[in-house]
Amino acid sequence: MRYLDRIVVVTGGSRGIGEGIVRAFVREGAHVVAVSTDRAGGDALAAALGPTCRHVHADVRRDEDLAALFADVVATHGRLDCLVNNAGTHLAHRAIDDITPGAFRDLLDLNLVSQFMACRLALPHLRQVQGCIINMASLVATLGQHHAVDYVASKGAIVAFSRALAIDEARHGVRVNSVSPGNIDTPLWQSFADASADPDAMRRGGETSQWLPRLGTADEVGRLCVYLAADATYTTGVDHVISGGAEIGYGTKPIS
């Protein structure tokens, strides 16, 4: 019970990494508001987890949805201790010639601008309790990725945004960190495997991209987020890589 009776908002909290984060905070005694556009999945998760979890249907691209969300959270719970900005996506890999300006802007809206807006709306409440923010970035923010300039740009900006916000909010006692996962086994990751010519080969390739020879789990990312919120009280402005060692050493990793 490391986060007993604290109030946590997790965007993208209906499935995948967000579900892992929601489950981890509920286990530690928090009241969790899971936010997503997936009404069926989010409602089912909240029902399974019981009274300390509820699902709010909201689109993080819509400023009015976010404003209503934080007004509701504070009216219901009276405080906000932790905001996890996790909602985001990765579009199909393609070269810059095939990314329209509109599509590029749309992805930045979902992955990046939504985090800016949620932070802006949550901070007046977080400052009152010296709360914290965790922004979901990606390992590829640092490594780059083939045919994904839109996604990589959005995630690189999240790391930089989080570090800059950490500087400004330190005087209020609010900590801001980012989390950069490598290959995590989620519906989004599986959708890329399923869309590939050989899904089994793609999964094997994913498993052998890090020294720990498997994909990471949403629960492992969830536990890192609980650690950042509950335990890492002298940590701010840091990007926390959770990748099984994908970025250390060269190329494909041998499974010993």
Q: Which residues are part of the catalytic machinery?
A: 151
Nearer to ligand NAD, 108 or 129 (CB): 108
Q: Counting every residue, how long is the chain?
A: 256
Alpha-carbon 237 to chain mean position? 16
Asked whether the beta carbons of 184 and 207 are under 8 A apart, the reply is no
Nearer to ligand NAD, 178 or 236 (CB): 178
Only segment of 1-9, 29-37, 71-79, 96-104 that touches ligand NAD (CB under 6 A): 29-37
Asked if 162 touches ligand NAD (CB under 6 A), the answer is no
**Strand (E) positions, 82-214?**
82-85, 132-136, 175-181
Only segment of 30-38, 166-174, 194-202, 222-230 that touches ligand NAD (CB under 6 A): 30-38
Sequence-ordered alpha helix ranges (H) in 147-198: 149-169, 187-195
For residue 26, give Cα distances in angstroms to 3, 101, 176. 9, 40, 21
The least distance separating ligand NAD from the CB of residue 159, rounded to whole angstroms, comes to 12
Q: In 3D, which of 7, 169, 3, 4 has the Cα closest to residue 74?
A: 7
Asked if 86 touches ligand NAD (CB under 6 A), the answer is yes
Asked if 189 touches ligand NAD (CB under 6 A), the answer is yes
| Subset of 117-156 contacting ligand NAD (CB under 6 A) | 136, 138
The least distance separating ligand NAD from the CB of residue 234, rounded to whole angstroms, comes to 25
CA 234 – CA 245 distance, rounded (Å): 24
Nearer to ligand NAD, 115 or 236 (CB): 115
Nearer to ligand NAD, 38 or 239 (CB): 38
For residue 120, give Cα distances in angstroms to 62, 124, 145, 167, 200. 14, 8, 30, 15, 42
Asked if 110 touches ligand NAD (CB under 6 A), the answer is yes
Residue 98, classified by CB atoms within 10 Å of its CB into exposed (0-12), middle (13-18) or buried (19+), is exposed
The least distance separating ligand NAD from the CB of residue 140, rounded to whole angstroms, comes to 7
Q: Which residues bind ligand NAD (CB under 6 A)?
A: 11-18, 35-38, 59-61, 86-90, 110, 136, 138, 181, 183-184, 186-189
